[in-house]
Amino acid sequence: MSTSLSPLLAPMLSSGPMRAVCDDAAMLQNMLDFEAALARAEAATGVIPKRAAEPIAKACKADAFDLAALADAATRSGNLAIPLVKALTAHVAKSDADAARYVHWGATSQDVIDTAAMLSLRAGADALLGDIDRAIAGFAKLARRHRTTAMVARTWLQHALPMPFGLKLAEYAAALHRSKTRLTRMRSETLALQFGGAAGTLAALGDKGLAVAEQLAQDLGLPLPDAPWHTHRDRVADVASVLAILAGTCGKIARDVSLMMQTDVAEAFEPSGEGRGGSSTMPHKRNPVAAATALAAATMAPNLAATILAAQVQDHERSAGPWHAEWPTLPTLLLVTSGALAAIVDIAEGLEVDAARMRANLDVTGGLIMAEAVTMALAEKIGKGDAHHLIEAASKKAVAEKKQLRDILAGDSTIAAQLGGLDGLAKLFEPMAYQGASQALIDRLLASLDER
């Protein structure tokens, strides 16, 4: 677990709190926290002398170790835990040579690295949960404000039907809330202690292995699994899936916002600010900066998750290679997911909506967006097939003659009469009169956010 984005790019693609979580020093401290907790657990269960625990725990401070030296040594040993245990043992020996004999007693390198990763992932989940609450609240507030704001619903990027903007916003909030549910479950159930010793049997601890594991899990605040899971990586794959889904949801929202920000659409915009969204050559530009960050993350996250999924295929009780692939991949996935979510928070809390432009865009097709509404009303009189044929022909005529569909229909006395004359047609061409169950759906989506 290390910050695997360059210092120049990291602020653009990740959140500050997540960069702190994924920092090399933070990861090293998590490994040392495992060693300190292990010593305390073994002292409490009589595996090592009680007096050995305190000197070991006191030595477990990341700032006492040389990161560069550990990294260099890891290239020869195959992982970071081996040189760290050697360095920790030497550090403890400076104050208590006898206690140094009990450093890392009965554990294996993977126990240290995997458990440290679980601690990092827990902190990462907490950072994401804080931001996801803000994004959900922001979109829910906007949904209530715009529940009757009429806009174009688009299918295949074409005008389809009218819809309330509040429905789109409520869907954003609900999708993010589903990711919150996944994150919360993952944090409480998936992130488990890793402690199995050399081959997952805890043989070095005799009959006290499970007692030590119980004490260790309690000390670190991690669930105790039924058994060590060294080469069963479904837990890690679960984490990757949850993160990739969240990044994808952020990407979907960002895609919509970037499309709504197009000059030709101009319905909703990211928050504006000095120097934000500008161009190096075009002073008039207002580019979708936050959306671009979320879309970048949504592009990267699936491939990072795929690496984690591929790394599930491991050999026997301990594996070389696939396990190593997780080390840089997980923090990168955490980082880009945090960047996507932070960008969406920015949008949710500062989205600028042009309701008048939304309403004007409904009229761009000259009333064609209400063709289905008219067809369904006419179908009640003459049947769906005939109604569809007539309104399709009228729509083509409106396009060819560059006229309003309503005017074409008003000029056909037979159709107009079936639809209640001019007053009936006027009602059929009111966009928010044709929104189906939208208001009930908004209520249902907002109610799904209530966790009580």
Catalytic site residue from 51, 178, 279, 444: 279
Catalytic site residue from 101, 134, 318, 359: 318
Catalytic site includes residue 413: no
212 with 34: CB under 8 angstroms? no
Catalytic site includes residue 109: no
Q: Give the active site residues.
A: 279, 318
